[in-house]
Every structure is written in structure tokens, then in C-alpha cells.
Amino acid sequence: MIIFKNKAEAPMTTEREWVSAALWATLNEILDAVILVLRGKFGTLALYDAARNARQIVTHRRFDAEHLKAVSSVSVDTGLAGSRSIRQRKRVIVVDVNEDPKYEPW
């Protein structure tokens, strides 16, 4: 995907297409900043879909396709950190998923 600095540079025809590209670029910047600040190695950024009561990963860093297929769209009732964060309405950091019993099914 090519990211444009402003709407005038983008060869897109509708406002919706521009907003989608700008949002996608912003979400990637946010994920990169969070990984940098927390000194992480991996990361995902997901959006909550209230209609499905699920979260959908929209961007990631350093996860393989098999893992993403398993967790790309999951109910907020799971033990995954993102789902717990939505339910608890606070940040959840998992230092080591191998040590977190809520990750055993995954």
C-alpha cells in the first residue's frame, strides 16, 4: 500500500477511500509507537466490532500467518489480552504468553 501525505497527493476518487487509507496509516503509526515505547518485539492492533462482540486485528508486527489466522477475529469472551482489555476497560500487557495460563488454548 502506498501512503500519501495528504488528500491532494492521493489518486483516490472518494472521501471514504481517503479516510480509509489515512486511518490505516494512522493505525500503523500507533502500533509502531506502542511497540517502541514498550520495547516490544511483537504487536497487534485490533478494532472492536460491537455488532459481532468481537475484535478484528487490523495491523500487526512480526506474527506469522498461521497465528494471525487463529486470532485475527475473536470473541471478546476469550482469554487473549485484547479481549481482556475490552472487557476490563484497561490496558493488559502479557510479558510471556507461555507463562500466562489464559493463553493455553492458543
Q: Is the model's pTM score more than 0.75?
A: no
**The pLDDT of residue 7:** 52
What pLDDT sits at residue 74? 93
pLDDT of residue 1: 39
> DSSP assignment of 43-92, as one string?
EEEEEEETTTTEEEEEEEES--HHHHHHHSEEETTSSSHHHHHHHHTS--
60-76 confidence digits (pLDDT tens): 999 999 989 988 899 99
**For the segment 32-70, what is each residue's pLDDT rounded down to a tens digit?**
999 999 999 999 999 888 889 999 898 999 999 998 998
30 or 15, higher pLDDT: 30
Whether pLDDT at 3 is above 50: no
